[in-house]
Amino acid sequence: MQTTQSYIQGQWKQGKGEGKPIFDSITGEHFTNINVDGFDVPEVLAYGREKGDTLRKMTFQERGNMLKALAFHLQKKKRAFYDLSYRTGATKMDSWFDIDGGFGNLFANASLRKLFPNQPFDVEGDPIDLSHGGRFMAHHILVPKEGVAIHINAFNFPVWGMLEKCAVNWMAGVPAVVLPAPQSAYLTEAVVKEIIASGILPEGGLQLISGTAKNILDSTESQDIVTFTGSAKTGRLLKNHPRLLEESVPFTMEADSLNASVLGEDAVPGTPEFDLFIREVRNEMTVKCGQKCTAIRRILVPEHLMEDVQIALGKALDKVTLGDPRLKEVRMGSLIDKNQVEAVKKSILELSKTAELVYGDFDKAKTIGADYAKGAFMKPILLRENHPFENEAAHITEAFGPVSTLMPYKTLEDAIKLSKKGKGSLVSSIFTNSDIIARDYTIQAASHHGRILSINRESAKQSTGHGAPLPNLVHGGPGRAGGGEEMGGKRGIKHFMQRCAIQGSPTTLSEITGIYQPKADYKDAEKHPFAYHWEDIQPGMSLKTHNRTLTDTDIINFGNLTWDHFYAHTDITSLEGSIFEQRTAHGYLIISAAAGLFVYPNKGPVAANYGLEEIRFLRPLYHNDTIHVRLTCKEKVDRDQKGKELPSGIVKWYVEVFDTEAVEEEDKLVAIATILTMVQKKQTTFHEVDRSFIQEKLSELDESATAQWGLMRPQHMVEHLEMSLRIATGEISNFEINTPEEHIEQVQETLYNYEKMPKGYKMPLMKKDELELLKYEGLSEAKMSLLEAYDNFVVFFREHPKAITKNPVFGELTSFDWKLLNRKHFNHHFQQFGLI
């Protein structure tokens, strides 16, 4: 019998003894066991804390790219996960929420790297001046906690439940120990096996305890973080664990909640909103067989529409087919196991003490492709509570399955009060085409719900739905829902970091934060800052410009050019009673003049102006005032290589405009701005290719050289390079482009990055598994012909600079494209023969 394993302390292990049997939710087959007995849990946590140093030292950009690579890797393997997910009773759509939704969390959190600095910690907010004159200041930083994130997860989302939390703690630089629920831990195990096998995550970044380790909290420390998803009752017990209280360990709980969906008074039968409401309630009752913490448990309907909703919901539920989730005609699978079936039945009986069961029953149902008696099947159940203010059961008892309760309201105020009787939920929704109703419900009900979704005919097509948490939004809720706030974009990452207020001089804090702070010491650059590549620019690097006097003519001409004829610039007879004393320079003239002073005119690493982040004018400048500028590197932000752009990063420049002739210190600074430039990165991967480089390497090549990969011999390689040059000049053109047209652009973009060519790739014009016939008598003649071909290449594009010629892999290429290809191609083959 198979046993689901755990991954701890760098090894795959299983507990002692036979363990607990786990059954296929559809067939009832006993196919695996769960056992975590005998694990040294304190050592598991200690291992994560120790190994977590690797994650903590990675920059946000490195962590984000790690998540991105992991998401791509897992996507390629997802078919196997789907096959296993069917055992949990999940349909293909249910599995999509769990599996692809989990991968989506990795992608979404990976993209957040762009919001963080290019370092392992974050700098939060703006600097704070603690003194007159700004020589003593404060800032806030957030550093990764030095513990582990302990995730205790529920059975209903074995993949998403893990990855939606891990993606966040990994971005924060914190390792994870995951405890999936025993009933579906085998699916979590399968995903973790792929994560570990990929080698993308540093060792210790993820450990898996496949089941319930009851002593997991006994050895937690103050730097650890615990998250829990499950029942509110269990969550409250864990939250009050003595060790958590003693060590002040952060504990985040996402508990089951009685989520409410409201049908607006205007959404009568025949309106799109009524139909959307019926469809959404049915979906929330049946997706994952109702086993969702965000599912609709309470259906709030205007009392005069109760019969209409009950009939419409009954008809919608009639279309729900039960059975083997692998079959496309099956709409709903099963609960996780028969124990859950009994638990749901027990809750329904509690609800039915006051509510009437109006749809469904506990009798055997027709199933497609499965045996009802063997699987954990249950029909959808709809109850009706006619007195929701008097009877409490529907507001305190959750049946965690395909169950929901219909209840009436008289006014919107009543609906708001009913929604609050659940004492806190993860999500609520309202279906209305009235923005006034949506506003009133949202503002007045928001205190009791983690998220509120307003749906109407305009938003429905693109809406993610009532029950879909999104990684860029806070996921959690008050009260019964646990009080947690998982995910939520950047703020979710901060939950796993320690905030620290730092104080000191601007120069000291610039050094600590890696971000230039106003009034810090400048680091005068040896040459113009725009002449440096991205890697060589450092925060604080600064340039003081020459002076420029803003004349009356400058102001008038700028107004005529821009059509900005504001009276302060054009009508000096109207200045009385204003803050202006003379003809005033336009604010944007000041910034434009500043740019003229600091811009470097020569072509260099600065590829483009990337934008303006902030700008402020501190006091007016008048005609004949003279200015100079300080341009200082404020911060560097890494950037992914995109399209046909050479790799680059973003540099934020702090621009200070000074009145050169001002006497008083407080009058000197007249404007500040933060501008962004795209700056090219150094190319250090390849040797640049020219004739002397080729000639030098060919002189080192002889017949005895052996290839480090592939079939080629020295002369074959030389003749291959010659052929590529003759293709570039169009001398060889009797071939078709092998790459499909829809992929050409993507393939051409690879020429612009600094990544090496893959080893062993066969160019389409070459024979597959045998060597080409040689053209020349010997290697010396081949070398001479290669140099001649290179000379012809240079002359051809000098005489035809706009020529476009075709390549069998990369399609039609310009002169610049060919130079990029030659750089990669020559380096690739010279490395193949150990010449570089």
293 is catalytic: yes
Which of 584, 681, 566 has the alpha carbon at shortest distance from 624? 584
End-to-end CA distance of the chain: 54
Count of CB atoms within 10 A of residue 572's CB?
15
CB 33 within 8 A of CB 21: yes
Length of the chain: 836
Cβ-based burial of 335 (10 A; exposed 0-12, middle 13-18, buried ≥19): buried
Strands in 149-152's sheet, in edge-to-edge order, are: 11-13, 6-8, 206-208, 176-179, 149-152, 225-230, 251-255
Catalytic entry in 265, 293, 485, 722: 293
Whether residue 605 contacts residue 534, with contact meaning beta carbons closer than 8 Å, is answered with: yes
Helix-strand-coil split of the chain, %, nearest 5? 40, 20, 40
Rounded Cα gap, residues 806 and 792, in angstroms: 17
CA 733 to centroid of chain Cα atoms: 44
Question: At residue 559, what are phi and psi to the nearest 5 degrees?
Answer: -60, -40
Question: Distance (Å, rounded) from C-alpha 481 to C-alpha 425?
Answer: 5
Catalytic residue among 189, 254, 280, 635: 254
How far is residue 153's CA from residue 44's CA, in Å, rounded to a whole number? 18
Quickly count: other Cβ atoms within 10 Å of residue 614's Cβ: 11
Phi, psi angles (nearest 5°) of residue 388: -70, -20
> For the chain, give me the number of helices (H) and strands (E)?
27, 33
Those residues whose C-beta lies under 8 Å from the C-beta of residue 720, and which sit 6 or more positions away, are 712, 763, 766, 772, 829
Give the Å distances, CA to CA, from 325 to 143, 257, 379, 565: 45, 27, 15, 70
Residue 254 annotated in active site: yes
CA distance 694 to 347: 79
DSSP secondary structure string for all residues of 453-497 = EEE-TTTGGG---TT---TTSEE--SGGG-S--EE-THHHHHTTE
Token pair for residue 622?
């008048």
CA dist 635 and 649 (Å) reads: 11
Burial (CB count <10 Å: 0-12, 13-18, 19+), residue 829: buried
Location of structure tokens 């307003």: 454
Furthest C-alpha separation in the chain: 101
Of the candidates 236, 331, 344, 245, the one whose C-alpha atom is nearest the C-alpha of residue 282 is: 331
Whether 597 and 548 have beta carbons less than 8 Å apart is answered as: yes
Question: Which run of H or E residues covers position 177?
Answer: strand 176-179
Cβ partners under 8 Å of residue 327, min gap 6: 368, 369
> 216, 223 in Cβ contact below 8 A?
no
* CA separation for the pair 249, 264 (Å, rounded): 43
Helices (H), 732-774: 741-749
User: Any idea which residues carry the catalytic annotation?
Assistant: 254, 293
